[in-house]
Structure 1
């Protein structure tokens, strides 16, 4: 696991998230630690290195 920093698509604050490089491609929903809105997170790993990272707001 390692920590990755990014900007929340709702509140624009910089937040951090722990990512698991043991799964090469994954998509899941996690709440922003600042504004609590749900964020769809899609990290991509290759040989335990982060090669892609995307976050999307989930319209409610």
Structure 2
């Protein structure tokens, strides 16, 4: 596990998230630690290195 920083697509604050490189590609929803809105997170790993990272807002 390692910590990755990114900008929330709702409040634009910098937030951090722990990512697990043991799964090469995954998509899940996690709430922003600042504004509590749900964010769809899609990290991609290759050889335990982060090669892609995408976040997007989820329309409520």
The answer, yes or no, to whether TM exceeds 0.5 is yes
The normalised TM-score by structure 1 is: 1.00
* Structure 2 residue ranges without an equivalent (≥5): none
Deviation per CA, 1:27-48, whole angstroms, max 9, x where unpaired? Answer: 0000000000000000000000
Distance in 1 of aligned mates of 2:47 and 2:57: 28
Return structure 1 stretches of 4+ with deviation > 6 angstroms: none
Q: 1:20 maps to which residue?
A: 20
* Structure 1 residue ranges without an equivalent (≥5): none
Secondary structure of 2:45 counterpart:
strand
Deviation at 1:9, TM superposition (A): 0.0
1:10-49 alignment, distance < 5 Å:
10-49=10-49
The normalised TM-score by structure 2 is: 1.00
Q: CA RMSD in A?
A: 0.1
